[in-house]
Structure 1
Amino acid sequence: MPGKYSQIRAMMAITRAGLRSIMRSPSTVMFSIGFPLVFIMVFGFMGGGSNVSFKIAFDPATDTTSDVYRALTSISAIKVSAKQGQELQEDLEKGRILAVLNIQKNTTGSSPDYIIHLKSSEAVNPQNLASFKDIFLAGIINQMNKGKYPDAPSVAAVNPQIQKIPGRIYRTIDFILPGQLGFSLMSASVFGVAFLFFSLRQQLVLKRFFATPITRPYIIMGEALARVIFQMLTAVIIVLLGTFVFKFTLVKGVETFLEIMLLSFLALVVFMGYGFIVSGIAKTESVIPMVANIFTLPQFLLAGTFFSIDAFPTWLQPLCRILPLTHFNEAMRNIAFEGASLASCWQNIGVMLIWGVVAYGIAIKVFKWE
């Protein structure tokens, strides 16, 4: 007498078949692993330190009435951080700010009129700091001297003693890798799921499944599980390569790695919802890339994948901050470099879950079986 039909075994059979199908697709493997690894290698080989930047801050005690202060704040090449207190201290420790400047009047009554004191961090690339101090600041002071003191005196001088505070080195890879992992997860989730279920429907594979005892939820879970397993393997490869080859920071080691994997799993589930939407509303296979890019392309460009969203105009930043990929990138960077826990990233995770609820709510309405 035949045994009872097992939905779980049938689902796992679909999962195994789905995995074989994924591994046999060069485009899937290239999109999921190839492109992100290329970007990681390019940025990884660009250097181990922080980016050359003239993002600075001013000490609260700075003489803001001085000509030196007005000259510095009027130069477009200098970006002044508005952060203060602990936030400013953290940015300095992580090398996000090149230096904190304190401009004080020379009380000796002799030349120069002002002394510029610098406070920086060990996380800052010494070459960048030297370029700012010895070339950039020196050039500005020389230009001011030509106008105010064409002969001997000087309007300002930089204190040669730079105050250094301890700081963890923030490498280029610490910013790039989370963005590339998010790029991989979103691309594979949206495009992979959309093409997969559209193809299964067009080739009447789903219709054939209906002739078997397996129920519809297990069909979807089987195919989705294959996608999740493959993408989690790519996430492991990307993180381990970044860690062992390019010194990507995992503050708490294995604990941080496991939290990143949990976050990646959550992101996969959320992004796959939009793949189901695309597969349901696309009338032809050629329409899938266009529809999918409406959702994915703005996020690749605006969600902090390749550079910080602080670089965008102020009016655009609120839009950047509501995107789910933005919150994945921020949460992963906080977990990997800051040592934050998943629980402390509840706001980022909450926004991602809201996007997920919306996605699956729409997917239920538009998903087609035939």
Structure 2
Amino acid sequence: MPEPYSQMTAIWAIARASLKAILRSPSAVIFSIFFPLVFILVFGFIGNSSGPVYRIALTKGCDTANPVLDSLKQLNNIRIVKYQDSASLESDLVKGRITGVIDIRKVGDAASKSDYQVYFHATTASADKFATFLPLLENTLTRIDRNRFQGIKTTGTVEPVIRQVRKYRTIDFILPGQLGFSMLSAGVFGVAFLFFNLRQQLVIKRFFATPVSKAAIILGEGLSRVIFQLITAVVIIGMGYFAFDFTLVNGWQTFAEIMVLSFIALLVFMGFGFIVSGLAKNESSIPPLANIVTLPQFLLAGTFFSIEAFPSWLQPLCRILPLTYFNDAMRKISFEGAGLLDCWPQIGVLIIWGIIVYLAAIKIFRWE
């Protein structure tokens, strides 16, 4: 009596063959490794170049009825943020998520020429932001003085209070975005072209003549993509860490958690590829369909710059994209030292997206 056919053997055989094909494909290497590395090199060499958007918090006892704060609120690049508790404020200040905290006090000394004392609390985590915000604050006071008191410095004086913490560099923001860029590109374009070509070349039809199950075909091909992209992730992170001091707060533990997060995200992104593959009528229709999925996420999900730079009406759209949650979780883990459990809101949204995407893929995906 013949032994039952081993589906695991089939999965590994398909995965090995598919991985060899991926490694021999110039387009796979270019889109998954070359493009992200080019962006990392460019942003790594040019330094910080993000737009001057300043997120400012107010202390609990800050005087809010004064011309200084009124003038700051009129500036388009100032965002006044509110916190419910001091712990959250301190956490964001130390992590560089906000530029600083302003404390405006009315001067009670009759001998003083200034009406207000402005204390600006910041940390070196947002060094580049507060370095440009301080002159802006000084210029605001000067403008008020010139208008009201003919250039005499009477409205207020600024006293900066800067604490030394870990510096947040451009590469700490850019690299997670480029890793997400690589993952999403491979998951959508790679899977879509792969399964469409397998159908067109009747490879899947020939598989059906063998004892290999449909699940084994998908798992085998999917496994090859996962292996290749995790190798890509190692290359991207290694380049950032050794060439530009990309922050891995807890060393190997942080690296391992990034790999787990990348694995989860890649599975979700591959679901979009299955949908595009099922919708495509011919090979030329794949790029437009894939770009509908990927391009908005590349531009709006915090890949190249913070979504805080977008208008407030656009930010809710940014916050529903799956790539946004991968980028947020990546930055929390790598720079802030958060664990996977600490990122359960971001991972939870990714899993919800995965469920929705694969339910749609099951309805749309075609074998022939």
Q: Same fold (TM over 0.5)?
A: yes
Q: Does 1:71 align with 2:75?
A: no
**1:191-270 counterparts in 2 under 5 A?**
191-270=189-268
Task: Return closer, same or farther for 1:143/1:314 CA change in 2, 3 Å cut-off.
Answer: closer
Q: Corresponding residue for 1:103?
A: 104
CA deviations over 1:309-342 (Å, ceiling 9, x no partner) = 2222333222222221111111111111222221
Q: Corresponding residue for 1:92?
A: 93
Q: Which moved more, 1:308-317 or 1:266-275?
A: 308-317
Contact between 1:32 and 1:184, CA under 8 Å: does it hold in 2? Answer: yes
Contact between 1:49 and 1:171, CA under 8 Å: does it hold in 2? Answer: no
Q: Aligned with 1:191: secondary structure?
A: helix
- Alpha-carbon separation, structure 1, partners of 2:239 and 2:186: 19
Contact between 1:50 and 1:170, CA under 8 Å: does it hold in 2? Answer: no
Q: Corresponding residue for 1:82?
A: 82
Q: Aligned with 1:55: secondary structure?
A: strand
**TM-aligned CA deviation for residue 264 of structure 1:** 0.6
TM-score of the pair, normalised by structure 1: 0.92
**TM-aligned CA deviation for residue 212 of structure 1:** 2.2
Which of the numbers 112, 115, 136 marks the counterpart of 1:113?
115
Q: Corresponding residue for 1:368?
A: 366
Contact between 1:50 and 1:124, CA under 8 Å: does it hold in 2? Answer: no
Tell me the amino acid that sits aligned with residue 21 of structure 2. Answer: S
- Alpha-carbon separation, structure 2, partners of 1:8 and 1:130: 58
Task: Return closer, same or farther for 1:151/1:73 CA change in 2, 3 Å cut-off.
Answer: closer
- Alpha-carbon separation, structure 2, partners of 1:369 and 1:116: 67
Contact between 2:63 and 2:104, CA under 8 Å: does it hold in 1? Answer: yes
Q: Corresponding residue for 1:56?
A: 56
- Alpha-carbon separation, structure 1, partners of 2:101 and 2:304: 26
Tell me the amino acid that sits aligned with residue 211 of structure 2. Answer: P
Task: Return closer, same or farther for 1:48/1:147 CA change in 2, 3 Å cut-off.
Answer: closer
Q: Corresponding residue for 2:40?
A: 40
Task: Return closer, same or farther for 1:146/1:190 CA change in 2, 3 Å cut-off.
Answer: same
Q: Corresponding residue for 1:142?
A: 142
**TM-aligned CA deviation for residue 87 of structure 1:** 2.0
Q: Which moved more, 1:358-367 or 1:235-244?
A: 358-367
Contact between 1:94 and 1:123, CA under 8 Å: does it hold in 2? Answer: yes
- Alpha-carbon separation, structure 2, partners of 1:338 and 1:151: 44
Q: Corresponding residue for 2:156?
A: 156
**TM-aligned CA deviation for residue 52 of structure 1:** 5.3
Task: Return closer, same or farther for 1:138/1:364 CA change in 2, 3 Å cut-off.
Answer: closer
Which of the numbers 311, 314, 331 marks the counterpart of 1:313?
311
Tell me the amino acid that sits aligned with residue 244 of structure 1. Answer: F
Contact between 2:95 and 2:336, CA under 8 Å: does it hold in 1? Answer: no
- Alpha-carbon separation, structure 2, partners of 1:171 and 1:50: 11
**TM-aligned CA deviation for residue 2 of structure 1:** 7.6
**TM-aligned CA deviation for residue 215 of structure 1:** 2.0
**TM-aligned CA deviation for residue 50 of structure 1:** 8.6
CA deviations over 1:91-143 (Å, ceiling 9, x no partner) = 22122323222222222213122221221112232x6534433x323322222
- Alpha-carbon separation, structure 1, partners of 2:54 and 2:274: 44
RMSD value over aligned CA atoms?
A: 2.2
* Structure 1, unaligned runs of 5 or more: none
Task: Return closer, same or farther for 1:42/1:151 CA change in 2, 3 Å cut-off.
Answer: closer
Q: Corresponding residue for 1:288?
A: 286
CA deviations over 1:276-317 (Å, ceiling 9, x no partner) = 111112110011111112222221122111122222233322
Q: Does 1:171 align with 2:139?
A: no
- Alpha-carbon separation, structure 2, partners of 1:57 and 1:324: 28
- Alpha-carbon separation, structure 2, partners of 1:312 and 1:128: 17
Task: Return closer, same or farther for 1:52/1:73 CA change in 2, 3 Å cut-off.
Answer: closer
**TM-aligned CA deviation for residue 80 of structure 1:** 2.1
* Structure 2, unaligned runs of 5 or more: none
Q: Aligned with 2:283: secondary structure?
A: coil
**TM-aligned CA deviation for residue 213 of structure 1:** 2.4
- Alpha-carbon separation, structure 2, partners of 1:22 and 1:291: 22
- Alpha-carbon separation, structure 2, partners of 1:53 and 1:320: 17
Tell me the amino acid that sits aligned with residue 340 of structure 2. Answer: L
Task: Return closer, same or farther for 1:166/1:217 CA change in 2, 3 Å cut-off.
Answer: same
**Equivalent residues, number:** 366
Q: Corresponding residue for 1:340?
A: 338
**TM-aligned CA deviation for residue 153 of structure 1:** 5.4
